[in-house]
Amino acid sequence: MHPLVALAKEAVERYIRSGDILTPPQHDLPAEFTRQAGVFVSLKIKGQLRGCIGTFQPTEPNVANEVVRNAISAATRDPRFTPVRDHELDSLEYSVDVLSPTEPIADKSQLDPKRYGVIVQAGGRRGLLLPDLEGVDTTEAQLDIAMRKAGIAPGAPVTLFRFEVKRYH
């Protein structure tokens, strides 16, 4: 198990079982733990989404803290699901996506739903969709889902950004 996935798992299990928030070590960390980046943590049970929360931009001093915060939020604060319960912990599958910095793009021709995630923005509304998701095979589908998540009407003018992820299971 990748160390970032192990960190997410430990954070969720500790929080669900005891209410304690894991403090990741701050010294002698691998380089990927110490930089700042947006991070998404996804939880699944038997391949079905159980929670997914993340940050577009970093909000914590390092990736390790970002993983802990978003793992706990994915387990307890995803509005689409009830909070994870103790009896589900052994069934959870974890995925951690560390985002590259976002870059603005001119139009959808610069997207590839297998390689790039997308952020759509219109006014104060923003929606994000991670790359390489099952069932999202076209740029049009990717944009449609991201716009719906943001509450942006179909056909509305949007500003587009793309990013890549390093996905750990």
In order of their start, the domains of the chain are: 3-99 (3.30.700.20), 103-164 (3.30.1490.150)
The pLDDT assigned to 98 comes to 97
The pLDDT assigned to 107 comes to 95
Measure the CA–CA gap between 23 and 136, rounded to whole angstroms.
36
Helices 3-18, 63-76: axis angle to 10 degrees equals 50
Structure tokens at 132: 């390489």
**pLDDT tens string 133-147:** 999 999 999 999 999
The residue-averaged pLDDT of 64-68 equals 97
Measure the CA–CA gap between 165 and 49, rounded to whole angstroms.
19
